[in-house]
């Protein structure tokens, strides 16, 4: 175990997570008289709203996931520490992280927890084996391999029933990610892959968008949800609402209707985008501070985004639970910037926790792209869809991409995809599809081995005591 050395007596800020909340929190402290340590379990900053475009071959990983160290290399008061955070000790003011077998303890004076959220299967975690989520680069690459692999297997099949199963794609969850992904799978089959096979017609692919809710894009309202649904249906996407997934296996899934009846959908390729669960660090913070968490594991923070009794510990992004603040990039960015402002005031001796102005979220609107040249947008009371909304969506996402190179290459990739039929990132490997499952199986074997070893040692101890 190692402890981060203290090179100065400057105020120490630890930031957990390299997403929007973590990265923007660090950058907001650039000119502050503090030493910052960013602790993250990945080496990159992931632009998660465009992850589905990696999964469908439009963008490369590098365009949406620049290296965090490179982004922050000119910020001299910041360092990056790679590791998965195991625990936070609010009393000792330390963060413990692990990289391989190396344990590192990092002390802090102020803490920004932007650990994000993970895919939620609502208590059915075994679904993940057959229906990966859409939260990480690994998820996107695995899904790309599953989509393209399904077409390749269908090309080799002589059984029509098997072909139908292989060419049925089910997206669970009709939120922004589900809508965007379903639309792109449909366009991939209809445009990019058209004419590329000899024994199948990719345009025969069946794309199903499922949700237990009664509407598409519920957070954006009935009008925009209806617009998105109409556009998806024109693309050939089947929208099935009030349909709850009760079981998932390798060959398909079971759906329960609103009236209680169940039915089966045969499909090899499934993707889950139906819910999120806060990082386990949220419960740690709540247990130590006396705060509470909501049903999704997010921390019910104080008005200044801190946990109870700890005015120096901020929770931002997907891990914070604040009324009327959506789990989107804007909420994370604004929360992190607010926390950084309070930390800078504290360092200058100008902060009184009892007199802090509450965090106030400024809603800049929400958008979702449905297909090429078509999106829906909600800005204040204004709701609209179509080409103008799509252009606004492009501009907004380009603005928040980190780095000029990423923006330029993204524009080129979009130009090729949306004006033509090609997609530059269509490569996939068997390893991308099965690596996650292999790692999970290995971890299960290791845990089982550890349990057996522990049991054997206890048995030996009992025998010695008895003898």
Q: Are 359 and 338 in contact (CB under 8 A)?
A: yes
Q: Rounded distance, CA 60 to CA 429, Å?
A: 15
* Angle of CA points 160, 161, 166, to nearest 5°: 95
Find, among 340, 329, 386, 450, the residue nearest to 50 by Cα. Answer: 329
- Known catalytic residue: 180? yes
Backbone angles phi, psi at 402, to 5 degrees: -90, 120
- Catalytic one among 91, 129, 155, 180? 180
**How many Å from the N-terminal Cα to the C-terminal Cα in the chain?**
38
Exposure of 53 by Cβ count < 10 A (0-12 exposed, 13-18 middle, 19+ buried)? buried
Please answer whether residues 438 and 129 qualify as being in contact, where contact means their C-beta atoms are separated by less than 8 angstroms. no
Strand partners, 307: 310
Residues 6+ apart with CB under 8 A from 228: 179, 216, 217, 220, 368, 370, 376, 385
Q: How many helices (H) and strands (E) does the chain have?
A: 13, 25
Q: Which two tokens stand for residue 344?
A: 């800078």
CB 347 within 8 A of CB 34: yes
Catalytic site positions: 180
């Amino acid at each position: 175990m190692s402890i981060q050395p203290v090179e100065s007596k400057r105020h120490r800020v630890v930031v957990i997570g390299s997403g929007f909340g973590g990265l923007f929190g660090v950058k907001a402290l650039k000119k502050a008289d503090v030493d910052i340590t960013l602790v993250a379990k990945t080496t990159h900053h992931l632009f998660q709203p465009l992850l589905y475009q990696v999964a469908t071959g439009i963008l490369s990983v590098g365009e949406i996931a620049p290296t965090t160290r490179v982004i922050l290399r000119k910020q001299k008061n910041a360092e990056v520490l790679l590791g998965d955070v195991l625990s936070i000790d609010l009393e000792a003011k330390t963060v413990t992280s692990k990289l391989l077998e190396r344990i590192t303890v990092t002390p802090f004076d102020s803490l920004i927890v932007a650990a994000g959220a993970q895919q939620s299967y609502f208590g059915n975690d075994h679904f993940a084996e057959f229906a990966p989520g859409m939260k990480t680069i690994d998820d996107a690459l695995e899904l790309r391999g599953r989509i393209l692999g399904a077409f390749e297997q269908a090309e080799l099949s002589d059984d029509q029933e098997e072909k139908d199963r292989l060419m049925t794609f089910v997206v669970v969850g009709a939120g922004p990610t589900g809508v965007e992904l379903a639309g792109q799978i449909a366009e991939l089959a209809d445009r990019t892959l058209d004419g590329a096979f000899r024994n199948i017609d990719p345009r025969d692919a069946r794309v199903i968008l499922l949700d237990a809710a009664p509407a598409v894009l519920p957070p954006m309202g009935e009008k925009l949800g209806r617009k998105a649904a109409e556009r998806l249906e024109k693309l050939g996407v089947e929208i099935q609402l009030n349909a709850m997934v009760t079981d998932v296996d390798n060959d398909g899934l079971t759906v329960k209707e609103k009236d209680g009846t169940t039915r089966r959908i045969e499909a090899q390729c499934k993707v889950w985008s139906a819910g999120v669960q806060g990082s386990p660090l949220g419960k740690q913070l709540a247990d130590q501070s006396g705060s509470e968490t909501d049903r999704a594991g997010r921390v019910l923070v104080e008005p200044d985004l801190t946990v109870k009794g700890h005015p120096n510990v901020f929770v931002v992004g997907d891990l914070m639970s604040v009324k009327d603040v959506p789990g989107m990039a804007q909420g994370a960015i604004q929360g992190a910037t607010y926390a950084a402002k309070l930390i800078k005031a504290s360092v200058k001796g100008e902060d009184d926790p009892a007199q802090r102005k509450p965090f106030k979220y400024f809603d800049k609107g929400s958008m979702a792209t449905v297909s090429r040249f078509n999106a829906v947008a909600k800005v204040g009371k204004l709701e609209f869809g179509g080409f103008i909304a799509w252009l606004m969506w492009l501009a907004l996402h380009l603005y928040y991409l980190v780095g000029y190179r990423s923006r330029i290459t993204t524009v080129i990739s979009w130009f090729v995809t949306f004006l033509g039929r090609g997609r530059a990132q269509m490569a996939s490997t068997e390893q991308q599809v099965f690596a996650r499952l292999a790692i999970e199986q290995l971890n299960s074997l290791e845990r089982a081995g550890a349990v057996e070893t522990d049991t054997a040692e206890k048995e030996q101890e009992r025998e010695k005591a008895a003898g």
